[in-house]
Amino acid sequence: MVLGIEWLASLGEIRANFEQLTLVLKIDGRKVIIKGEPKLLKKDTSLKSTLKALRQGEGFLIDYHHIQTKIDWKDTIPPELKHVLHDFTSIFEPLEGLPPQRRQDHAIHLKEGAQIPNIRPYRYPHYLKTEIEKLVAEMLEAGIIQSSTSPYSSPVILVRKKDGNWRFCVDYRALNKITIPDKFPIPVIEE
């Protein structure tokens, strides 16, 4: 049984003992005790095993909680670091626009005879498709991406972050397979 908070609020004072799984409340002047069943099992389950159990006539209560909290990171910064952040504010600002032009443009060198990867997008549920379109629109507006007519194409996936937002990830595996890797050694930190 799921007791809604609105219904519980209408009862007035309630005494709860979670160790014994009891609620003591008054309804129309009568004392009523609601007792939970400790034999009921609470555990994580897969969709496959849930569907199998439902076919066998067993019942389930599926409880999903998603709590999204926004923490202002500026409140958690130690005072001795605040002046450093203030001095280098431009480094910690959100990205705006593309990087400046350099002497040499970025180039992807492919193995000889390799076909340019042009992979069609993955199939997404409607809510993910909407989220991808929203993220792309935000990045276009911020100027950190731009429209392109490049023949290269790689699908994107969204990965849920700890704070509940989505991380935009591009699947470059097909491109990486046909790219000539750089032959430059990683610099030694002492040098």
**Does 141 reside within a domain?**
yes
Residue 68 has pLDDT above 60, yes or no: no
**Does 83 reside within a domain?**
no
**For the chain, how many structural domains are there in total?**
2
| CATH number of domain containing 137 | 3.10.10.10
Instruction: Look up residue 73 and give its two tokens.
Output: 């990171």
Give 10's pLDDT tier (boundaries 50, 70, 90): confident
Q: How is 118-165 classified by DSSP, letter by letter? A: BPPPPP--HHHHHHHHHHHHHHHHHTSS-----S-B--EEEEE-TTS-
Lowest pLDDT segment from 33-42, 76-85, 145-154: 33-42
Q: Which residues 6+ apart lie within 8 Å of 10 measured at CB?
A: none
**What is the reported pTM?**
0.44
**Does 178 reside within a domain?**
yes
**What does the pLDDT look like over 84-105, one tens digit per residue?**
888 888 887 777 777 778 887 7
Give 44's pLDDT tier (boundaries 50, 70, 90): low
**Does 97 reside within a domain?**
no
**Does 75 reside within a domain?**
no
Q: Which domain holds residue 169?
A: 109-191
Starting at the edge strand that comes first in sequence, how are the strands of the sheet with 22-27 ordered? 15-17, 22-27, 30-35
**Does 165 reside within a domain?**
yes
pLDDT at 177: 92
**Does 71 reside within a domain?**
no
Average pLDDT of the chain to the nearest whole number: 79
**Does 66 reside within a domain?**
no
Contact assessment for residue 18 and residue 2, using Cβ atoms and an 8 Å cutoff = no
**What does the pLDDT look like over 149-178, one tens digit per residue?**
888 888 998 998 888 888 889 999 999 999
